[in-house]
Amino acid sequence: MRIIAQFHKGDELRFISHLDILRLMQRAMRRAGFPLTYSQGFNPHPLVSFASALALGYTSDAEWVDVKLNEDILPKDFKERLNSSLPAGLSISCAKVIKDSEKSLTMLLKQAAYSVMFEFDEPVHADVLRRGIDTLLSGPIFVTKRTKGGFKSVDLRPNLISMDYSMPNAKKDDAQKTAQLRVEGVLNASGGLQVELLLKELLKTCGVDARTRVHRTAVVFENFEELHE
């Protein structure tokens, strides 16, 4: 059988790499006594995979793991048993059974949403952020990206769906040292929106410096309602 499960990655593990989180998840599944299905060949490994990689330093409420098992398990039992074996900072929020023949979650990815907290070095007025966001949304967003072959210029705009901000405690003409940004972008098997590069370009456009904390709040799949058996 095949189960997909949504999980939370918290502050405790935000600097643990994608590969190490996968290994941690596999160990927790073994401790929970799940009959994992293994790949064939000279180096068998559990058929456990994530829908997408989460950037180092990010937290999330919307990560997904895809697991193949040799025996049937109720999603409710899967969730409870795995949560009892996971460390602080990882927790399963829901689990669903899907068809073995369904495409990988990575191939079904469509978009993702992020919440970004800015902590500015100096107080910033809301209109500074507004102008910066409007500037980026109005045309191409060319940035320099490091690649294996060196550096190249890429346009982030085609993968940016929406971007807005809020300063909950700000009054009119009042500068604040914090702001929250809401970003939606393309996320698919080829990659998608590079949030880190977008944030650097926004701060550069606004002419301000800030520390950032990024939290992925949602992931959207193609035809998700059709995944259930």
Q: Is the pLDDT of residue 134 over 50?
A: yes
Exposed (0-12), middle (13-18) or buried (19+): which is 49, by Cβ within 10 Å? Answer: middle
> Domains in the chain, start-ordered, CATH in brackets?
2-102 (3.30.70.580), 109-220 (3.30.70.3190)
Residue 72 backbone dihedrals phi, psi, to 5 degrees: -75, 135
Output the CA–CA distances (angstroms, integers) from residue 64 to 58, 90, 141, 203, in the order listed. Answer: 15, 12, 30, 30
Output the CA–CA distances (angstroms, integers) from residue 183 to 27, 80, 114, 121, 213, in the order listed. Answer: 33, 32, 5, 22, 13
Question: What's the CA gap between 213 and 148, in Å, rounded?
Answer: 27
The pLDDT tens digits for 27-46 are 999 999 999 999 998 899 99
In this structure, the number of other CB atoms found within 10 A of the CB of residue 109 comes to: 22
The pLDDT-based confidence of 151 (bands split at 50, 70, 90) is confident
Question: What's the CA gap between 221 and 111, in Å, rounded?
Answer: 7
Q: Is the pLDDT of residue 170 over 80?
A: no
The pLDDT-based confidence of 167 (bands split at 50, 70, 90) is confident
Query: Pairing between strand 59-68 and 210-221?
Result: parallel
The pLDDT tens digits for 90-106 are 999 999 999 998 999 99
CB 193 within 8 A of CB 185: yes
The pLDDT tens digits for 36-84 are 999 998 899 999 999 999 999 999 999 999 999 999 999 999 999 999 9
Average pLDDT, the chain: 93
